[in-house]
């Protein structure tokens, strides 16, 4: 069996039926010959995002796969591979490499060496006979421990070489998970019951462990409200009475109330407590922390931890639930904050009512988002944001009710990431209404890959909030804009989308927002890739940004 055939055989045995790519690498032809579907992007950066979105929705079962050529292909993919690394997404990268006799020669770009800093594991197949072993190590890294991107570099001079017969006996890697120490679990249960106002901060580790049901059970048992990180948004149903939404650069009224005023103990589960203002709330300095993670590097990293639980999120939650139930002895806690949270949410929404229902033109993006929330069932949708204003405006208000019903991200936050993510999500979940909110600056970065969705028959919806400027930069670019109009952007994105083959509309009347969204939804149901362009104002108000009392 040739090296290329061995790689493809292993991909098939690991359940890979779709991959994302940009030529040229001979692995594409080999994979197609074996019955695996290729989705060819317009640029490597967006193709990586497609594999990323796919992997998030499948929870890495199977992982996303991206193939690219050596040199420019590998180089162009760098920023989005950095995103998969920062957000811990299981994506397998298979770059073609220079021939081995040239890979060490200056100035040859060698992927494995360069990508070591932004992959969980990077390896070059140095001899053909090592192909199966290298792939086995790659899938072991993808499936065990903290998720993350893995790279296997394939030198072009061994693609057609004899790899032996190991691939013919390859067995898929089974994940290995472990539970935390029993004494740590008991200490955590005791501390959680002794607290007066405990709260839970849930990260995307809950999603990867498929532990949302257990998280909800523990929250009900403790009567503890739950906030998620941005990456973990949708791990807890946000229509639940104890839901605080997501926390990061922006968050809602109940979230701010609990985090900054009420809580006297924080239980972090499936999160790294990374101090990053865009995706994780800054924690009060005087509140003790119980931290549960499957990565020992997270423990004591950014905050002093009172009790540490090292293990899989699902097994950890099961153990803590059992320990709490044992201590309660069949009794129920009478400390529900649900009424207080509901009242605070109503008051917070009241403060935002004018923007959420505004009839002003150009329309405020909050009216667009409010109408979307009103007419789209979150149980049937997968939604994501882009960087900048769309992210910070949408996150506090959108209520995700199903695991992976929202794809949150942002620690490494290139403009334009959301388009590829939602295309990949639609490939993974064709039955869902998959929608990406992005600004006009973000569309300018990656918008031509809308044609990839059209060409590949992937009927997702992109909503462009077109304010013709970089609104978020208004406070930072006063002089340059005054002298050179440095913030201004322009374009008819609905017209461009139509020319690329998509269904599209440009909407300027706030009264037509809901009808336009429903028309776009019907277009996707008929198999059309769709784009809605809403002409919006340069809105820069945000909900509780950086703890402000908005």
Distance CA 458, CA 133 (A): 35
Closest CA relative to residue 93, chosen from 152, 19, 156: 152
| CA-CA-CA-CA dihedral for 513, 516, 520, 525, to nearest 10 | 110
Is residue 550 pLDDT above 60, yes or no?
no
Structural domains counted in the chain: 3
| Domain-located, residue 350 | no
Both tokens of 157, joined, read 């001079």
What is the CATH number for 282?
A: 3.40.50.1220
Is residue 46 pLDDT above 60, yes or no?
yes
Indicate the SS3 state at residue 226: strand
Give the model confidence (pLDDT) of 223-279 as tens digits.
999 999 999 999 999 999 999 999 988 999 999 999 989 999 999 999 999 998 888
Which pLDDT value is given to residue 414?
Answer: 86
Same domain, 251 and 288: yes
**What is the full DSSP assignment across 365-422?**
HHHHHHHHHHHS-GGGEEEE--TTHHHHHHTTT----STTSEE---SS--TTHHHHHH
Mean pLDDT of 92-116: 85
Same domain, 147 and 27: yes
Q: How many CB atoms lie within 10 A of CB 355?
A: 18
Phi-psi region of 164 (alpha: psi -120 to 50; beta: other; left: phi over 0): left
Which pLDDT value is given to residue 549?
Answer: 42
Give the model confidence (pLDDT) of 431-489 as tens digits.
999 999 999 999 999 999 999 999 999 999 999 999 977 777 888 888 898 888 888 88
Distance CA 341, CA 227 (A): 12
| Domain-located, residue 126 | yes
Residue 70, burial from CB neighbour count under 10 angstroms (0-12, 13-18, 19+): buried
Give the model confidence (pLDDT) of 373-424 as tens digits.
999 999 999 999 999 899 999 999 999 999 999 999 988 778 999 999 999 9
Average pLDDT value for the chain: 94
Out of 169, 190, 209, a domain closes at 169
Distance CA 346, CA 329 (A): 36
Same domain, 382 and 528: yes
CA 308 to chain centre: 26
| Domain-located, residue 160 | yes
Same domain, 13 and 100: yes
Query: Could you tell me how many helices (H) and strands (E) the chain has, helices first?
Result: 21, 18
pLDDT band at 545 (very low <50, low <70, confident <90, very high): low
| Domain-located, residue 425 | yes
* Helices (H), ranges, 100-178: 111-114, 131-143
Closest CA relative to residue 417, chosen from 52, 95, 69, 92: 52
Please report, for residues 5, 24, 246, 336, the alpha-carbon distance to residue 54 in angstroms, rounded to integers and kept in the order given. Answer: 24, 22, 22, 38
Same domain, 193 and 69: no
Mean pLDDT of 22-42: 96
Q: How many CB atoms lie within 10 A of CB 547?
A: 12
* CA-atom Rg of the chain in angstroms: 24
What is the layout of strands, in order, in the sheet containing 503-507? Answer: 406-407, 381-384, 433-439, 461-466, 530-535, 503-507
Closest CA relative to residue 289, chosen from 416, 201, 177, 173: 201
Which pLDDT value is given to residue 488?
Answer: 84
Residues 6 or more apart whose CB falls under 8 angstroms from that of 78 comprise: 114, 115, 118
Residues 6 or more apart whose CB falls under 8 angstroms from that of 147 comprise: 60, 88, 89, 90, 120, 208
Closest CA relative to residue 68, chosen from 111, 11, 128: 111
Same domain, 375 and 397: yes
Look up the domain containing 512 and give its range. Answer: 357-547
Same domain, 303 and 426: no
Same domain, 139 and 203: no
Same domain, 225 and 303: yes
CA 132 to chain centre: 30
Out of 340, 375, 400, a domain closes at 340
In the chain, the percentage of residues whose pLDDT exceeds 70 is 99
Strand runs labelled E in 58-106 = 64-68, 91-97
pLDDT band at 133 (very low <50, low <70, confident <90, very high): very high
Give the model confidence (pLDDT) of 58-86 as tens digits.
999 999 999 999 888 999 999 999 999 99
Same domain, 165 and 188: no
Same domain, 313 and 388: no
| Domain-located, residue 259 | yes
Read off the pTM: 0.95
Give the model confidence (pLDDT) of 475-516 as tens digits.
888 889 888 888 888 899 999 999 999 999 999 999 999 999
Q: What is the DSSP letter of 89?
A: -
| Domain-located, residue 174 | no
Same domain, 195 and 158: no
| Domain-located, residue 348 | no
| Domain-located, residue 351 | no
Mean pLDDT of 122-151: 97
Mean pLDDT of 348-367: 96
Which pLDDT value is given to residue 444?
Answer: 93
Which pLDDT value is given to residue 113?
Answer: 81
What is the CATH number for 55?
A: 3.40.50.970
């Amino acid at each position: 069996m040739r090296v290329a055939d061995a790689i493809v055989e292993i991909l098939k045995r690991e359940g890979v039926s779709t991959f994302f790519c940009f030529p040229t690498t001979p692995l594409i032809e080999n994979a197609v010959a074996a019955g695996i579907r290729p989705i060819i992007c317009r640029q490597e950066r967006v193709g990586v995002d497609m594999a990323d979105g796919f992997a998030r929705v499948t929870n890495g079962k199977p992982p996303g796969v991206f193939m690219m050529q050596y040199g420019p292909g590998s180089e162009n993919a760098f920023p989005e591979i950095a995103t998969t690394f920062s957000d811990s997404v299981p994506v397998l990268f298979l770059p073609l490499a220079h021939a081995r006799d040239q890979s060490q020669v200056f100035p040859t770009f060698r992927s494995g060496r360069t990508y070591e800093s932004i992959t969980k594991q990077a390896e070059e197949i140095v001899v053909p006979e090592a192909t199966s072993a290298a792939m086995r190590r790659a899938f072991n890294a993808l499936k065990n421990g903290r998720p993350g991107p893995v790279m296997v570099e394939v030198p072009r001079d061994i693609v057609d070489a004899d790899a032996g017969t190991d691939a013919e006996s390859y067995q898929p890697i089974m994940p290995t998970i472990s539970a935390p120490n029993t004494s740590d679990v008991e200490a955590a249960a005791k501390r959680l019951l002794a607290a007066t106002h405990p709260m839970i901060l849930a990260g995307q580790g809950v999603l990867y462990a498929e532990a949302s049901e257990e998280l909800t059970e523990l929250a009900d048992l403790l009567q503890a409200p739950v906030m998620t990180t941005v990456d973990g948004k949708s791990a807890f149903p946000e229509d639940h009475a104890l839901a605080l939404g997501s926390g990061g650069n922006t968050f809602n009224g109940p979230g701010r109330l609990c985090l900054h005023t009420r809580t006297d103990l924080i239980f972090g589960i499936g999160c790294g407590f990374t101090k990053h203002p865009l995706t994780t709330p800054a924690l009060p300095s005087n509140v003790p922390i119980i931290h549960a993670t499957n990565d020992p590097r997270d423990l004591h990293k950014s905050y002093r931890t009172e009790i540490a639980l090292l293990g899989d999120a699902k097994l950890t939650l099961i153990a803590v639930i059992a320990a709490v139930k044992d201590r309660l002895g069949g009794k129920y806690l009478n400390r529900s904050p649900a009424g207080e949270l509901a009242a605070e949410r109503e008051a917070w929404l009241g403060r935002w009512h004018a923007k959420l229902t505004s009839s002003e033109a150009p329309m405020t993006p909050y009216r667009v988002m409010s109408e979307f929330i009103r007419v789209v069932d979150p149980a049937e949708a997968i939604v994501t944001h882009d960087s900048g204003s769309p992210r910070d405006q949408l996150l506090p208000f959108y209520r995700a009710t199903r695991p992976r019903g929202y794809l949150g991200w942002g620690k490494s936050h290139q403009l334009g990431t959301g388009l590829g993510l939602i295309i990949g999500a639609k490939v993974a979940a064709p039955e869902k209404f998959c929608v990406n909110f992005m600004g006009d600056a973000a569309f300018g970065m990656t918008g031509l890959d809308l044609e990839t969705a059209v060409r590949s028959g992937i009927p997702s919806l992109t909503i462009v909030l077109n304010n013709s400027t970089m609104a978020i930069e208004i406070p930072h670019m006063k002089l340059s804009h005054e002298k050179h109009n440095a913030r201004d952007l322009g374009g008819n994105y609905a017209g461009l989308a139509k020319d690329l083959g998509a269904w599209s509309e440009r909407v300027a009347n706030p009264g037509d927002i809901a009808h336009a969204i429903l028309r776009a939804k019907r277009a996707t149901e008929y198999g059309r890739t769709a784009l809605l362009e809403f002409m919006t104002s340069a809105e820069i108000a945000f909900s509780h940004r950086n703890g402000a009392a908005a």
